[in-house]
Amino acid sequence: MNVFAKIIAGEIPADKVFENERILVIKDIAPQAPVHLLFIPKEDVKDLQCLENLSLVSEMVEIAKSLAESMNLKKGYRFVTNVGSDGGQEVPHLHFHLLAGRPLGSIS
Ligand code: AMP
């Protein structure tokens, strides 16, 4: 079981920001920016390439927009997912990062 599956199962703790039946949002344990959230679908999906239910993506985008509004991220944010080894994915369970609170620069 990967770390996000364990968090979803309640086997290890996480700092939860939002939760519904399909999606969990937590604070990243090693934040790369003042705001660093992880959007994790509860469905067992390895990455974006394996995802068949694309409505999950639009739901995560809706939640990201809503949280950005409530957290007053007026200067912007980045919402990204890493896919596979070249994409820099470490945890093999689909998740999106929301980063904000400092200038993030361009993507290399
Ligand atoms: P990725 O490289 O896209 O797979 O991102 C995995 C992210 O999960 C990294 O930013 C880690 O810091 C984060 N992470 C790993 N373990 C935990 C945990 N137990 N709680 C919260 N975030 C975690």
What is the CB < 6 Å shell around ligand 1? 3, 14, 26, 28-30, 38, 82, 88-91
Q: Which domains does the chain have, with CATH numbers?
A: 3-100 (3.30.428.10)
> What is the mean predicted confidence (pLDDT) over 45-70?
97
pLDDT above 70: percentage of residues in the chain: 99
- The residues with which 39 forms a beta bridge, in sequence order, are 25, 96
pLDDT band of 107, cuts 50, 70, 90? confident
pTM: 0.98
Mean pLDDT of 64-73: 98
Q: How far apart are CA 67 and CA 71, in angstroms?
A: 6
What is the residue type of 84? G
User: Does residue 25 sit in helix, strand or coil?
Assistant: strand
Q: Do the beta carbons of residue 20 and residue 56 sit within 8 Å?
A: no
Residue 95 catalytic?
A: yes
User: Which atom of ligand 1 is the closest one to the Cα of 87?
Assistant: 3
pLDDT digit string, tens, across residues 16-57: 999 999 999 999 999 999 999 999 999 999 999 999 999 999
